[in-house]
Amino acid sequence: MTDTDTPALTTWAGSHTFRGGPVVHPTTVEEVAAVVAAARNVRALGSRHSFHDLADGPGTLVALDRLDVPIELDPEAGTVTVGAGVRYGELARHLHAQGWALHTMASLPHIAVAGTVATATHGSGDRASNLSAAVRGLELVGADGQVRTLGADDPELPGSVVALGGLGVVTRVTLAVEPTFDVAQEVFVDLPWSVALDRFEDLMGSAWSVSLFTDWTGDTVGQVWRKHRVDAGVPAAGPELAGARPAGRPMHPVPGQDPVACTEQGGVPGPWHERLPHFRLEFTPSAGAELQSEWLVPREHAVAAIEALRGLRDLVHPLLFVSEIRSIAGDDLWLSTAHGGDRVALHFTWKPLRAEVDAALPAIEAALAPFDARPHWGKLFSGPGPDRTWQDLYPRWDDARALLGRRDPEGRFANDFLQRVGLRG
């Protein structure tokens, strides 16, 4: 195990500098347990793809990037067990080589498994629940320094998967897998907003995964990315794209960025893990130096919420690289942003203008409050919205809060973020 006494760590995009320390890099689960048992305060670090202080805190920071846990595939159970620090892109290559797949991928394959599921990070698609919903078991080191395992039938598992690091340091994650499949990705440009909104349901259901990219100005959606599962038999195009035209060349969702960083387009079939993400593992994803926010609204409110955001174009556009609209199937995880029903995600990739973005967040949250919007836990937000409480948005909020208090009574894994949102006192 190695450590750094004076860490100078930042989040992936440089949006937050971590305090505390030392930073330790355990290589075994036993070393993780020893670190937790000896520390007064602990926070786990994954790939640091959050944009604020979610993984920050006083005391020891446990980086999981060197945790040496083998990938264990169980074909009979249809599961794979991996170390917490494994990145999805690396796991995907291993699974595909063995003839298996995950049901979805996030747009960035660079993110680590444990941090991804702890924040309810998602992929895209009407039938694709978020990555957390694939969890069938967890191994974690709790506040007492003991290793604990939760199986698929454990009544605490739905409250422990999306736990924002508040229950301990996750060391292993068991995920559901399925036989590998191919995906073909196509891109269209300049879809009229009138078509996008009038035929929203047909459009979002026209492929396994559909993303709309916009800067909220003008009369058209800038880009439509559609990812078709070759085994699903969904046609390549239909009347829901009336008025749009094929891109004709590779595209990057952020205007001005080199599309070489993006996964292959043009309708060419390829392995699921080389098409479902927007970006290739070998390249810096998205814009690099950026900020992000995202809110998820119930599917039935999607069109109204989009219209509300279009009314904020003058506020949003000067701060924005691009926005993305996509769909996510519902799940039953207590703190998942898709808990209780299908959702549509409204994502913002901001320019690195932190003060200006922070100032804009309350106006966006006010516009989305009538639609019960839930912010993505790992991205920038200011609160649950005006006249809203977290209990309003999450029916199992009090249960989740009680679980964190029961499993970590002294607040070993607590930090400013958990206290700010009210999950810790």
Can you give the pLDDT at residue 58?
Answer: 85
Task: Write down the pLDDT at residue 16.
Answer: 86
Asked if the model's pLDDT at residue 343 lies above 90, the reply is yes
CA separation for the pair 65, 48 (Å, rounded):
10
Looking at residue 287, what is its pLDDT? 63
Mean pLDDT estimate for the chain: 94
Q: Average pLDDT for residues 336-352, to the nearest whole number?
A: 98
- pLDDT over 70 at 14, yes or no: yes
Q: 289 falls in which pLDDT band (50, 70, 90)?
A: confident
pLDDT for residue 264 is more than 60: yes
| Token pair listed for 88 | 């999805």
C-alpha 12, offset from chain centre: 14
What is the average pLDDT across 320-326? 98
Is the model's pLDDT at 304 over the cut of 60? yes
Residue 7 has pLDDT above 60, yes or no: no
97-156 pLDDT per residue, tens: 999 999 999 999 999 999 999 999 999 999 999 999 999 999 999 999 999 999 999 999
Among residues 209, 199, 72, the alpha carbon closest in space to that of 137 is found at 72
What are the angstrom distances between the C-alpha of 352 and each of 15, 53, 130, 231, 319? 8, 16, 27, 40, 8
The mean pLDDT of 316-320, rounded to a whole number, is 98
What is the percent of the chain with per-residue pLDDT over 70, rounded to a whole number?
95
| pLDDT (0 to 100) of residue 232 | 65
Q: Using one digit for the tens of pLDDT, what is the confidence trace for 16-57?
A: 888 877 899 999 999 999 999 999 999 999 888 888 899 998
Give percent of the chain with pLDDT exceeding 90.
Answer: 85
Q: CA dihedral defined by 103, 88, 174, 340, rounded to 10 degrees?
A: -50
Checking if the pLDDT of 234 tops 60, the result is no
Judged against a pLDDT cut of 90, whether residue 303 lies above it is answered with yes
Q: What is the pLDDT at residue 5? A: 47
CATH number given to 182-375 = 3.30.70.2520
pLDDT computed for residue 286 by the predictor? 67
| Confidence (pLDDT) at 283 | 82
Residue that wins the pLDDT comparison between 110 and 12: 110
Confidence of residue 333 (pLDDT cuts 50, 70, 90): very high
* pLDDT score, position 6: 47
Domain ranges of the chain: 2-63, 72-180+398-404, 182-375
* Phi, psi for 273 (deg, rounded to 5): -75, -10
- 203 versus 6: the higher-pLDDT residue is 203
Q: Does domain 72-180+398-404 have CATH number 3.30.465.10?
A: yes
Dmax over Cα atoms in the chain, in whole Å? 63
pTM: 0.95
Please say if the pLDDT value at position 235 is more than 70.
no
Nearest to 85 by CA among 137, 48, 60: 48
**Yes or no: domain 2-63 corresponds to CATH 3.30.43.10:** yes
Distances (CA, A) of 97 to 27, 36, 172: 25, 36, 21
| Triad 92, 77, 118: Cα angle to 5° | 55
pLDDT at 288 over 80: no
